[in-house]
Structure 1
Amino acid sequence: MLKAVLTRLATTLVTLFGVAVIVFVVIRVVPGDPIAMMLPPGATEDDVARLRTLYGLDKTIAEQFFIWLGGVVQGDFGVSITMRQPVLGLVLARLPATLELSVMALVIAVVVGGVLALTGTRLRDTRTEGGIDVVNGMALSVPDFLWGLVLILVFGVLWPVFSISGRVSPVLVPEFATNFFLFESLLRLRFDLWLDLVGHMLMPALALAIPLAAIIGQLLKQSLKETMHLDYVTLARTKGYSENHVILHEALRNAMLPTLTLIGVQFTFLIGGTVIIERLFSYEGLGNMAIDAVINRDLPLIQGIVLLFALLFTLVNLVVDLLYAVLNPRLRHA
């Protein structure tokens, strides 16, 4: 297990290096000059030259890359062109908001998808199972940003119940040690702030969770139906166990293994999906910042955000692989 973890960590470093090279080169060869966007129309050539020298854009792409990479190794991701602040500090300040939103969406998706799968398995070959399949199909057919628009229309316009903009109400200014407001508010017993945060996060989290819940429900139900015909499940029935006990205690453990892998893969896509959803709901997370960075051609900020997303993706996949080995004894003892 230790050897496997070390191998995956080495692979992660290679992956991050490849991502850094691709992103660094691509954002510099596409049309658009970040310096020109910073200066007023009357700026002189000397002004442009000074700014290019200041941000190191007067060097070749290869020289710029290795200078930037040397800084990254030391924890220096550069300075944002538009915000004039260190990129690492900006990214880490927004990361907790995106992680909290992604985790809430994942929890909602797992709970809803699991309930649909268990219900469809328990009531298999009935109209209820057919209805669940129809609901899953509808949820999969609509992308998350369209679900976001539907939620805004229903719960923001027609029936204004939940907050559809921002992360927290302006009257409630959280003064916490970290930017993980949702978790820290619980630890500090600030339930008023916690409820306000949940009220702001619920709609974007639902928009992200609905398609994922449909995928989880569909795959888990299919795995459960296949598992229900195996010998050990039949043996459990002959011992007199109820159908609910057979599903929850006998079939679910093995049926959830393929679903666990899917959840890990889809969770990485879910984190990437926060880019559009955060913009749609004006949520102050990393995705919203990424769009601003692209619009403003803020090269150091784009590089820092993409590299962090890549790191999150690889770490999530590593955790999923380890959990899969823990839950599957054949892999653990292989």
Structure 2
Amino acid sequence: MSFTGIFNRAVMAAVTLFGVAVIVFCLLRIVPGDPIAMMISPGASADDILALRVKYGLDSSIPVQFGVWIREMLTGDFGTSISLKRPVLSLLMERLPATLELAFAALVFGVIGGGLIAILATLARRTPLESVIDVLNGLFLAVPDFVWALLLVLALGVAIPIFPTSGRVDPSLSGDFATNFYLIESLVTLRFSLFFNVLSHMVMPVLALGLPLAAVIIRTLKEALNEAMLQDYVLLARLKGMSETRLVVQETLRNAIGPTLTLTGVQFTFMIGGTVIVERIFSYPGIGNMAIDAVINRDLPLIQGIVLMFGLTFVLINIAIDLAGNFFNPRLKHG
């Protein structure tokens, strides 16, 4: 990718984030409800209410509030949470690693599981096994992540209690980490008991998020592989005696990755948004769970910070998709 292409993407990312900031800031100010009213005691005076408004910058007009917020945000000050009384940026940095580990674990599960099943279905095309895979995959596509979460809690948390149904690690072990990247830290430091404890808490949330993603990958990659199997170069390779497995893995897979990669990136952004409900169901201490509490408490600074963090994540993922698309498709390298 050329320098001009990278510069254009950076400019578009900045414009997108600014647009997200404007929209979320304005929407939060026009929806019904007063965050200050949720903080004051029944006997608070008018002076007490005014003091709180001044403290959180809610006494000025909306344009002035927006200008102050943008100016402070550019210096790294995202404001102070109304409900938690802590800096928003520190709260985000504290919860973000949990959500990132969960999302990327679900991505790895979805890509590997979906990719392998798509290859299997391609090798089994025009057989009863392909029909079974298609029927099951259609079912998986129809079930959203939060339904999978509820089903997994009932099946593997209540009926057959194999995995923990809440939290990120056993409370007795939560003080054994130097960073908030529990899974990565425990693996790098070779503390496998901690690693498997963290992993056991992630299994059901990862399955809930990863199963719909795997279903999308199966359908997309299978269709791309079947289309590639009809090309002339595959017929020539087959005439030379190449086995079906080698045809799929060595010849057609690299040509089918492009469209699958693009759609996977889009679905990954949707999946990150889905962590809000899934984290709530499993009481997983990530940004999504915190977002619901922030909305309930009308915590404007925290909501704004969370939405911007999600927006930044989506922008970075889209840039990564573009770069990966250029890498896997040589025709786009000079575009």
Give your verdict on TM over 0.5: yes
Matching residue of 1:36: 37
Q: How much does 1:49 deviate?
A: 0.6
> How far apart, CA to CA, are the structure 1 residues paired with 2:237 and 2:181?
45
1:174–1:181 Cα contact (<8 Å) kept: no
1:78–1:86 Cα contact (<8 Å) kept: yes
Q: Comparing 232-241 with 88-97, which one deviates more in the overlay? A: 232-241
1:148–1:280 Cα contact (<8 Å) kept: yes
Matching residue of 1:233: 234
1:145–1:276 Cα contact (<8 Å) kept: yes
Question: What SS class does the counterpart of residue 172 from structure 1 fall into?
Answer: helix
Question: What SS class does the counterpart of residue 171 from structure 1 fall into?
Answer: helix
Matching residue of 2:146: 145
Q: Structure 1 unaligned runs (5+)?
A: none
Letter in 2 for 1:23: V
Matching residue of 2:118: 117
Q: How does 1:140-289 map to 2 (within 5 A)?
A: 140-289=141-290
1:98–1:274 Cα contact (<8 Å) kept: yes
> How far apart, CA to CA, are the structure 2 residues paired with 1:134 and 1:58?
58
Letter in 1 for 2:57: G
Q: Comparing 122-131 with 234-243, which one deviates more in the overlay? A: 234-243
Question: What SS class does the counterpart of residue 172 from structure 2 fall into?
Answer: coil
TM norm structure 1? 0.99
Q: How much does 1:277 deviate?
A: 0.2
Letter in 1 for 2:25: F
Q: How much does 1:255 deviate?
A: 0.7
Structure 1 consecutive aligned stretches of length 4 or more whose deviation exceeds 2 Å: 173-177
> How far apart, CA to CA, are the structure 2 residues paired with 1:3 and 1:176?
42
For these two proteins, the number of residue pairs brought into alignment is 334
Q: How much does 1:299 deviate?
A: 0.3
- Say whether 1:101 aligns with 2:87: no
1:163–1:199 Cα contact (<8 Å) kept: yes
Q: How much does 1:238 deviate?
A: 1.9
- Say whether 1:305 aligns with 2:306: yes
Matching residue of 1:20: 21
1:148–1:203 Cα contact (<8 Å) kept: yes
Matching residue of 2:61: 60
Q: How much does 1:175 deviate?
A: 3.2
1:166–1:284 Cα contact (<8 Å) kept: yes
> How far apart, CA to CA, are the structure 2 residues paired with 1:230 and 1:174?
57
Letter in 2 for 1:297: R
1:87–1:300 Cα contact (<8 Å) kept: yes
> How far apart, CA to CA, are the structure 2 residues paired with 1:299 and 1:253?
46
Q: How much does 1:333 deviate?
A: 3.5
Letter in 2 for 1:278: E
> How far apart, CA to CA, are the structure 2 residues paired with 1:89 and 1:260?
33
Letter in 2 for 1:13: A
Matching residue of 1:328: 329
State, as a whole percentage, how many aligned pairs show the same letter: 57
2:209–2:271 Cα contact (<8 Å) kept: yes
> How far apart, CA to CA, are the structure 2 residues paired with 1:330 and 1:274?
35
> How far apart, CA to CA, are the structure 2 residues paired with 1:233 and 1:174?
56
> How far apart, CA to CA, are the structure 1 residues paired with 2:246 and 2:143?
35
Q: How much does 1:227 deviate?
A: 0.2
> How far apart, CA to CA, are the structure 2 residues paired with 1:9 and 1:248?
36
2:257–2:328 Cα contact (<8 Å) kept: no
What CA RMSD, in Å, does the superposition of the two structures yield over aligned residues? Answer: 0.8
> How far apart, CA to CA, are the structure 1 residues paired with 2:58 and 2:209?
38
Q: Structure 2 unaligned runs (5+)?
A: none
Deviations 1:290-313 (A, max 9, x none): 000000000000000000100000
Question: What SS class does the counterpart of residue 176 from structure 2 fall into?
Answer: coil
1:185–1:194 Cα contact (<8 Å) kept: yes
> How far apart, CA to CA, are the structure 2 residues paired with 1:76 and 1:14?
20
Matching residue of 1:319: 320
Deviations 1:107-128 (A, max 9, x none): 1111111122111100001111
Q: How much does 1:174 deviate?
A: 4.0
> How far apart, CA to CA, are the structure 2 residues paired with 1:175 and 1:61?
45
Q: How much does 1:9 deviate?
A: 0.8
> How far apart, CA to CA, are the structure 1 residues paired with 2:58 and 2:204?
41
Question: What SS class does the counterpart of residue 221 from structure 1 fall into?
Answer: helix
Letter in 1 for 2:314: F
1:147–1:207 Cα contact (<8 Å) kept: yes
Letter in 1 for 2:69: W
> How far apart, CA to CA, are the structure 1 residues paired with 2:334 and 2:237?
26
> How far apart, CA to CA, are the structure 2 residues paired with 1:138 and 1:204?
19
